Amino acid sequence: MAFQTASSSAIPRLPVALSTDSAVAGGSFGGPRLSKDSSRWSRFVWKTDALGSLQVPAAGSDLIRRATREEGEDVLHVILLSLSMDSGWNDSLQVAEEYVKAAVARIFNAEEPLCLVIPKGNRFIAASLLDPLPEAPNHLVSGPSVLMEYRNRGIGSRLLHASLSELRERGLASVSGVTRDKTVTSRYVYPKFGSVAAPLDVSSLLEGARESKA
């Protein structure tokens, strides 16, 4: 896949600072508020060696490229807008927003942030934040996040396939994506490309993250 660079400096900025001073900066969901809701989460897993035998989504006219280090706030903007437009996140929106803000800060403070975006004019209409570390509990950090007015056009599927392909090129044999049940992602996007889904006890994920930091 060829990636090109384009400017998205005109996108409105969010009133948040990209800071890693957060309990969820390690890349997994945090806080006791999630432990009571663990049965409503699922982990989807893809084996990347199977991608070549699956039907590739139609390319469409949308350019998918990597985001630059300077575009972290633009990425944060489109992911948070996408979350806020999905009723499946309503009762966990605050936790999800905290997680995304910390994850964007962590990934965009890296030398080469791994994030795929789709620009349209002077703004992004979709983004997919990725973590290529094999031991990461959630490689599809944000999942394919698409603005409401651009949904139902196959963009989420194309962005998911591009994300899985990018992680395969980074050497991952297996890719995980964690999401809430009944969200747009869990119902219509993540079931594609041969994924296997299982209920996830988020409290166990948190405990693993705490042990890795100890």
DSSP sequence for 76-113: HHHHHHHHHT-GGGGGGHHHHHHHHHHHHHHHHTSSS-
Nearest to 149 by CA among 177, 179, 126: 126
pTM beyond 0.85, yes or no: no
Identify the three-state secondary structure at position 124.
Answer: strand
Can you give the residue ranges of every domain in the chain? 39-213
The CATH architecture of the domain made up of 39-213 is 3-Layer(aba) Sandwich (3.40)
In this predicted structure, what is the pLDDT of residue 65?
Answer: 95
Check residue 12 and give its pLDDT: 33
Q: Which two tokens stand for residue 211?
A: 């042990």
d(C-alpha 92, C-alpha 63), whole Å: 31
Q: What is the mean pLDDT of each run of 10 residues along the chain (214 residues)?
A: 33 36 34 47 93 66 90 97 91 88 94 94 96 94 95 93 95 95 92 92 56 43
**pLDDT reported for residue 59:** 60
| Dihedral angle sign, alpha carbons of residues 68, 178, 123, 159 | positive
User: Quick one: tokens of 153?
Assistant: 């056009």
Region of 176 (left: φ > 0; alpha: ψ -120 to 50; beta: rest) is: beta
Tell me what pLDDT residue 60 has. 63
